[in-house]
Amino acid sequence: MLDTHGRKYVDPIINSGANFLLKLKLTANNVTVIALLVGILTSVFIYLDMNLIAVVTLWLSGYLDAVDGAIARKTKTTSLFGTLMDITFDRVVETFMIISLALKYVDARMNFIVLLVCIIISMTIFLTVGALTQKKGMKSFYYQAGVAERSEGFILFTLMILLPNFVALFTNIFSIIIFITIIQRIIEAKKIL
């Protein structure tokens, strides 16, 4: 929801990052890989109890994840493979964080399993609708908005990292908003397919 409705407010910051990285001669795919590596570092920092650094790397990876698309659009180098990398690497970063949190917080492991299941179902619908519909927007495929988008996930991961006493609660809230998104996406899919 925040990504869909707030993008116009953060676009100037994303575009300045894209311009800066273009001056360094980085391609969109280079930035996508850097975002992945920084995102994976987040999991390492979570596991090592370096929570503030974990939050910084989490948000830096998310920022780079937005900048790579801006670079691709500016240089007219958008590609289906770049889209594949972007979506896959996002899930890799999320999965690594969930595994790292589950290793640390044994009592909340079932909560993390439910969260992963919700993410898998939501992304299956998202990608299937994107593949089956002819509509296209700013992205290279149809983007199904929902209550739980990347920013909401980052906010909840941040809360899990910084407030470990409430990790199960925040994990459950995350699962609930993804479940709501699943319902939204199914209803929308029924209308457009």
At 92, the amino acid letter reads: V
pTM: 0.90
Q: CB–CB of 106/49 below 8 Å?
A: no
Task: Count each helix (H run) and each strand (E run) in the chain, helices first.
Answer: 7, 0
Query: Residue 14 and residue 17: Cα distance in Å, rounded?
Result: 5
pLDDT of residue 40: 98
Per-residue pLDDT of the chain (193 residues; tens, 9 = 90+): 666 667 788 999 999 999 999 999 999 999 999 999 999 999 999 999 999 999 999 999 999 999 999 999 999 999 989 999 999 999 999 999 999 999 999 999 999 999 999 999 999 999 899 888 876 655 666 777 788 888 999 999 999 999 999 999 999 999 999 999 999 999 998 988 8
Cα 144 to its chain centre, rounded Å, is 14
pLDDT of residue 12: 93
pLDDT of residue 35: 98
Task: Compute the chain's Rg from CA coordinates.
Answer: 17
Helix H or strand E segment including 34: helix 28-47
